[in-house]
C-alpha cells in the first residue's frame, strides 16, 4: 500500500477532548474519527487492526467448536418484555418506535434474540450441545461515553451463547470459551488477569469471570493475591481483616458529646478517634424500604455486595431528611442501637471487640459499644469494599490492587433466559426441560484501545505483530534519489510476494515528518532506505525496542519475514 494514496491523516496536535493515551494516539494516528458522542468511524488504519482482532477471535471461536451467526441489531421490544429486561435494563437500552407504532430496541446484547431463535429451532437433546457466536455492532446509551472506543455507545462485540442439556455440559462449554479467551488475549499480545466477577445486569447465578487488561486507565479495580490464584473484581472481592468473633470488651458503654463532628474525618481530627474503631451507620433505601448498614469507619460499603445480601434490585443512600425522620438525628450521629428499621452489619463490625458509635441523638456518641451486647442485627455478611493489604480469603497473603480494562466477560446463565422465554428440549426420556445457557462477550473494539494502552511510548503506538495494521513500514528517506526509490519499491514487492503487509511511505515529505508519522502509527518493523543504499545497506528499526540494524535488502527481507512468521 502506498501511503501517498492511503486514506490517513495524522495529527500533530494532541486532541483536547482525549483524556487517555489510547484515545489520543488513535485520533492522532488517523485510526478513528468521532461522528457524535461515543460513536466512531474507523478509517483504514483503524479498521485493519479491528479486522486483525476479529480474525483472531474467529479462529479461536471456530477452534473451540462455536459456530458463527449474524443476528440483527434491531430487536422487538416484545422479546425484552418477555425476559423482564424491558423494565430492568434502564436507560442504556435505546428504544424507538417504527411507523406502525411498534416499539423496537437497538441491541445492547443478544440473549433475548438468540434464545428466541433456539426455542423455535431446537427440539431435542440430539441437537445439543451447541455454541453460537457473532461479531456484531452493539448499542448502549452509556451515561458517560469516554476514552474513545474504550467506552463507546456504538461498539463491536463478539458475543457467544452456549446451550447445553445439563450443568456438566455447561461446565464444559464454559471452560472451552474461557480457554479460547485466554488464547485470544495472549495472541493479541496483552497482559491480562482473569478475575471473579459480578454477573450484573445480564444475570444468572452460576459463575462469572472477567478478563482484565492491566492498565492504569482501567475503569475497574481488581484485587489479586500474589501467593495463590485468587483474583476478583472489587465489586465482589473479599478480603479478611483483623478481628475475630468472640473477643468482647467488658467495659460498659459510655455516652460522650461530639459537637460539630458530622464525618469520620471530623471525629478523627477533633476527638482523636481512630476510624477503624468507629462503627459507621448509613441509612439506605433497598427497593424503597429503609435499612441501616453498619460498617467500620475506615471502610466503604460495597453496594453490589449489599444488594446481593439483601436480595434487592436497587439500593441507594437515603437523603438526610429521610435519615432524620427515621432516626431522630442527622448524618454523623446515627448509630446501631435502638433503630426502628432492619440493621445489616458488615462481618468486620460484627467481630469488633468494641467500638465508638453514634447515639441517634444530635452530637452524641458512645464508646465501648460491643456488637452483639449493645445492639443486635437482622443480618450480617461481607459488605465492605476490599482493598490492598486485606488478607486473601484463600491463603492469607496480603492482596494487591490493580486497575484493569474489562475486555471479556463469561457468565453461566443457567436457565434464566430459557425459562423466561420457554426455550426447552426433549431429553432422552422424552421429558421437556429448559436449556442450560452460558454467554460470553469480548469487546472487540475496546480491545484496540486496551492494546494501545499497553503498547505505546511518548512517540506513538507500538503494535504487537499479530494485530498490527501492517507488518512493515518502508521509508525511503529521499524520494528524489532514484536509487533509494527503486530499492524501496523492490523491497515492497519482495515482501508482498512473501505475504507480508507493507506500507510504503512514498510521500514527498521531509525525513523528520516521515519518521515521526511512522513512530506514531506504530508498524512493528521500519525499513529505512537512505544514502547507504549505495553501499547496499538499509536500516531495519524495531518500533518496540528502537533497536536498529544495518542489513542488505536480502537480509532485511529475510529478517522481516521471520519476524512476521514467528508470531
Residues making up the chain, counted from first to last = 567
Residue 100: CB partners within 8 Å, gap ≥ 6?
A: none
d(CA 8, CA 366): 68
Closest separation between CB of residue 410 and ligand ATP, Å? 9
Of residues 216 and 319, the one with the C-beta less far from ligand ATP: 216
d(CA 397, CA 228): 8
d(CA 328, CA 274): 26
Site for ligand ATP in 114-153 (CB under 6 A): 140, 142, 151-152
- Using CB under 6 A, which of 53, 157, 273, 435 touches ligand ATP? 157
Among 530, 535, 484, 483, smallest CA distance to 511 is for: 530
d(CA 296, CA 353): 12
d(CA 224, CA 394): 11
207 binds ligand ATP (CB under 6 A): no
Cβ atoms of residues 367 and 356 within 8 Å: yes
Of residues 76 and 200, the one with the C-beta less far from ligand ATP: 200
Give the strand pairing for 364-369 and 400-414. unpaired
Degrees to nearest 5, angle at CA 85 with 84 and 87: 85
**Binding residues for ligand ATP, how many (CB under 6 A)?**
17
Closest separation between CB of residue 430 and ligand ATP, Å? 37
- Using CB under 6 A, which of 109, 215, 327, 484 touches ligand ATP? 109
d(CA 450, CA 191): 10
Of residues 39 and 104, the one with the C-beta less far from ligand ATP: 39
Residue 506: CB partners within 8 Å, gap ≥ 6?
A: 2, 3, 4, 476, 479, 485, 488
Q: Which residue is nearest to ligand ATP (CB)?
A: 443
d(CA 109, CA 159): 8
Closest separation between CB of residue 140 and ligand ATP, Å? 5
Of residues 125 and 161, the one with the C-beta less far from ligand ATP: 161
Site for ligand ATP in 163-202 (CB under 6 A): 200, 202
Closest separation between CB of residue 201 and ligand ATP, Å? 7
Closest separation between CB of residue 439 and ligand ATP, Å? 8
Three-state DSSP at 25 gives: helix
Closest separation between CB of residue 320 and ligand ATP, Å? 31
Stretch that binds ligand ATP, among 14-22, 439-447, 476-484, 558-566 (CB under 6 A): 439-447
- Using CB under 6 A, which of 446, 471, 514, 543 touches ligand ATP? 446
Closest separation between CB of residue 408 and ligand ATP, Å? 5
Give residue 417's region: left, alpha or beta (phi > 0; psi -120 to 50): alpha
Of residues 68 and 361, the one with the C-beta less far from ligand ATP: 68
Question: 425522620: which residue's cell?
Answer: 325
Among 150, 27, 24, smallest CA distance to 457 is for: 24
d(CA 502, CA 260): 70
Of residues 38 and 129, the one with the C-beta less far from ligand ATP: 38
Closest separation between CB of residue 445 and ligand ATP, Å? 6
Per-residue binder mask for ligand ATP (CB under 6 A), 350-389, x = binder: ----------------------------------------
CA dihedral sign, ordered 540, 541, 543, 546: positive
C-alpha 16: how far from its chain's center? 25
- Using CB under 6 A, which of 155, 181, 375, 463 touches ligand ATP? 155
Of residues 182 and 496, the one with the C-beta less far from ligand ATP: 182
Per-residue binder mask for ligand ATP (CB under 6 A), 387-416, x = binder: -------------------xxxx-------
Closest separation between CB of residue 157 and ligand ATP, Å? 5
Cβ atoms of residues 216 and 403 within 8 Å: yes
Closest separation between CB of residue 154 and ligand ATP, Å? 8
Three-state DSSP at 450 gives: helix
Q: Which residues bind ligand ATP (CB under 6 A)?
A: 109, 140, 142, 151-152, 155, 157, 200, 202, 406-409, 441, 443, 445-446
Amino acid at each position: 500500500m502506498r501511503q501517498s494514496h492511503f486514506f490517513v491523516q495524522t495529527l500533530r496536535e494532541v486532541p483536547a477532548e482525549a483524556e487517555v493515551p489510547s484515545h489520543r494516539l488513535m485520533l492522532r494516528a488517523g485510526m478513528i474519527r468521532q461522528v457524535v458522542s461515543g460513536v466512531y468511524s474507523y478509517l483504514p488504519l483503524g479498521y485493519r487492526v479491528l479486522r486483525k482482532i476479529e480474525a483472531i477471535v474467529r479462529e479461536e471461536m471456530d477452534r473451540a467448536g462455536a459456530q458463527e451467526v449474524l443476528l440483527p441489531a434491531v430487536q422487538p421490544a416484545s422479546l425484552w418484555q418477555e425476559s423482564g429486561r424491558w423494565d430492568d435494563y434502564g436507560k442504556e437500552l435505546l428504544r424507538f418506535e417504527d411507523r406502525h407504532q411498534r416499539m423496537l430496541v437497538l441491541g445492547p446484547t443478544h440473549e433475548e434474540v438468540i434464545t428466541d431463535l433456539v426455542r423455535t429451532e431446537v427440539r431435542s437433546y440430539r441437537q445439543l450441545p451447541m455454541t453460537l457466536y457473532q461479531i456484531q455492532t452493539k448499542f448502549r446509551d452509556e451515561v458517560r461515553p469516554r476514552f474513545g472506543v474504550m467506552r463507546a455507545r456504538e461498539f463491536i462485540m463478539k458475543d457467544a451463547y452456549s446451550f447445553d442439556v445439563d450443568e456438566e455440559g455447561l461446565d464444559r462449554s464454559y471452560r472451552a470459551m474461557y480457554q479460547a479467551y485466554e488464547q485470544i488475549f495472549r495472541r493479541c499480545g496483552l497482559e491480562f488477569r482473569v478475575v471473579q466477577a459480578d454477573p450484573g445486569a445480564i444475570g444468572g447465578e452460576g459463575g462469572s469471570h472477567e478478563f482484565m487488561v492491566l492498565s492504569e486507565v482501567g475503569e475497574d479495580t481488581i484485587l489479586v493475591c500474589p501467593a495463590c490464584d485468587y483474583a476478583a473484581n472489587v465489586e465482589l472481592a473479599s478480603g479478611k481483616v483483623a478481628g475475630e468473633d468472640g473477643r468482647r470488651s467488658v467495659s460498659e458503654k459510655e455516652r460522650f458529646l461530639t459537637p460539630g463532628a458530622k464525618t469520620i474525618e471530623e471525629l478523627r481530627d477533633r476527638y482523636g478517634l481512630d476510624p477503624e474503631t468507629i462503627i459507621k451507620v448509613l441509612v439506605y433505601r433497598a427497593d424503597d424500604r429503609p435499612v441501616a448498614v453498619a460498617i467500620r469507619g475506615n471502610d466503604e460499603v460495597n453496594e453490589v455486595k449489599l444488594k446481593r445480601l439483601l436480595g434487592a434490585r436497587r439500593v441507594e443512600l437515603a437523603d438526610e431528611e429521610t435519615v432524620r425522620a427515621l432516626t431522630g438525628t442527622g448524618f454523623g450521629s446515627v448509630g446501631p442501637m435502638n433503630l426502628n428499621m432492619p440493621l445489616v452489619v458488615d462481618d468486620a463490625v460484627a467481630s469488633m471487640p468494641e467500638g465508638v458509635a453514634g447515639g441517634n441523638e444530635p452530637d452524641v456518641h458512645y464508646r465501648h459499644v460491643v456488637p452483639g451486647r449493645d445492639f443486635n442485627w437482622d443480618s450480617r455478611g461481607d459488605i465492605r469494599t476490599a482493598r490492598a493489604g486485606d488478607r486473601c480469603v484463600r491463603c492469607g497473603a496480603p492482596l494487591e490492587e490493580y486497575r484493569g480494562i474489562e475486555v471479556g466477560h463469561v457468565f453461566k446463565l443457567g436457565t434464566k433466559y430459557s425459562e423466561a422465554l420457554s426455550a426447552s428440549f426433549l431429553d432422552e426420556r422424552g421429558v421437556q426441560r429448559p436449556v442450560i445457557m452460558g454467554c460470553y462477550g469480548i469487546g472487540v473494539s475496546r480491545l484496540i484501545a486496551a492494546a494501545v494502552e499497553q503498547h505505546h511510548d511518548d512517540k506513538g503506538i507500538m503494535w504487537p505483530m499479530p494485530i498490527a495494521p501492517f507488518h512493515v513500514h518502508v521509508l525511503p528517506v529521499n524520494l528524489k534519489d532514484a536509487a533509494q526509490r527503486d530499492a524501496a519499491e523492490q523491497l515492497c514487492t519482495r515482501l508482498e510476494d512473501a505475504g507480508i503487509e507493507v506500507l510504503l511511505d512514498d510521500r514527498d515529505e521531509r525525513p523528520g515528518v516521515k519518521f515521526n508519522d511512522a513512530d506514531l502509527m506504530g508498524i512493528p518493523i521500519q525499513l529505512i532506505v537512505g544514502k547507504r543504499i549505495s553501499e547496499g545497506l538499509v536500516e531495519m528499526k524495531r518500533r518496540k525496542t528502537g533497536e536498529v540494524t544495518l542489513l542488505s535488502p536480502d537480509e532485511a527481507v529475510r529478517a522481516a519475514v521471520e519476524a512476521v512468521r514467528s508470531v
